[in-house]
Amino acid sequence: MSDSVQFYVGVDGGGTSCRARITELNGQVLGEAKTGSANILLGSEVAMASIQDAIATAAAQAHLGPEHYAHMRVGLALAGAEQKSAWYDFMAQPHPYAAVTLNTDAYGACLGAWAGKDGAILIAGTGSCGIYLSEGTQHVVGGREFPISDQGGGAVMGLRLIQQVLLAQDGLRPVTPLVSHVMAHFRHDIDAIVSWSKSARPCDYGQFSPAIFDYAYQGDALGIDLLNQTAADIEMWMKALIQRGASRICLMGSIAERIIPWLIPPMQQRVAVPQGDAMDGALAMARGHHNLYPL
Chain segment 49-67, per-residue pLDDT in tens: 999 999 999 999 999 999 9
The per-residue pLDDT string of the chain (295 residues; one tens digit each, 9 = 90 and over) reads 456 999 999 999 987 789 999 999 999 999 999 998 899 988 999 999 999 999 999 999 999 999 999 999 999 999 889 899 999 999 999 999 999 999 998 899 999 999 989 999 998 999 999 999 999 899 999 988 899 999 999 999 999 999 999 999 999 999 999 999 999 999 999 999 999 999 999 999 999 999 999 999 999 999 999 999 999 999 999 999 999 999 999 999 899 999 999 999 999 999 999 999 889 999 999 998 899 999 8
pLDDT at 2: 52
Whether the CB-CB separation of 275 and 114 falls below 8 Å is answered with: yes
Q: What angle do CA 111, 113, 118 make, to 5 degrees?
A: 55
Q: What CATH number has the domain spanning 7-114+276-286? A: 3.30.420.40
Whats the size of the chain, residue-wise?
295
Provide the pLDDT for residue 265: 98
pLDDT value at position 73?
A: 98
What is the per-residue pLDDT across 177-203, written as a single tens digit (0 to 9) for each?
999 999 999 999 999 999 999 999 999
> Is the bond leading into 177 cis (omega within 30 degrees of zero)?
no
Q: Name residues whose C-beta falls within 8 Å of residue 292's C-beta, 6 or more positions apart in sequence.
A: 81, 82, 87, 102, 103, 104, 107
3-state DSSP assignment of residue 91: helix
CB 13 within 8 A of CB 105: yes
Task: Tell me the pLDDT tens digit for each residue of 145-160.
Answer: 899 999 999 999 999 9
| CATH numeric code, 154-272 | 3.30.420.40
Residue-level pLDDT at 1: 46
* C-alpha count within 13 angstroms, C-beta hemisphere, residue 197: 14
Looking at residue 42, its pLDDT comes to 85
Amino acid identity for residue 150 in this structure: D
Is the CB of residue 155 less than 8 Å from the CB of residue 146?
A: yes
Q: Residue 76: its pLDDT value, please?
A: 97
DSSP H or E segment with residue 101: strand 99-104
Map out the domains of the chain as residue ranges: 7-114+276-286, 154-272
DSSP letter for 114, please: T
Do the domains 7-114+276-286 and 154-272 sit in the same CATH topology, yes or no?
yes
What Rg value do the Cα atoms of the chain yield, rounded? Answer: 20
Helices and strands in the chain, H and E counts? 12, 10
Q: What is the pLDDT of residue 289?
A: 85
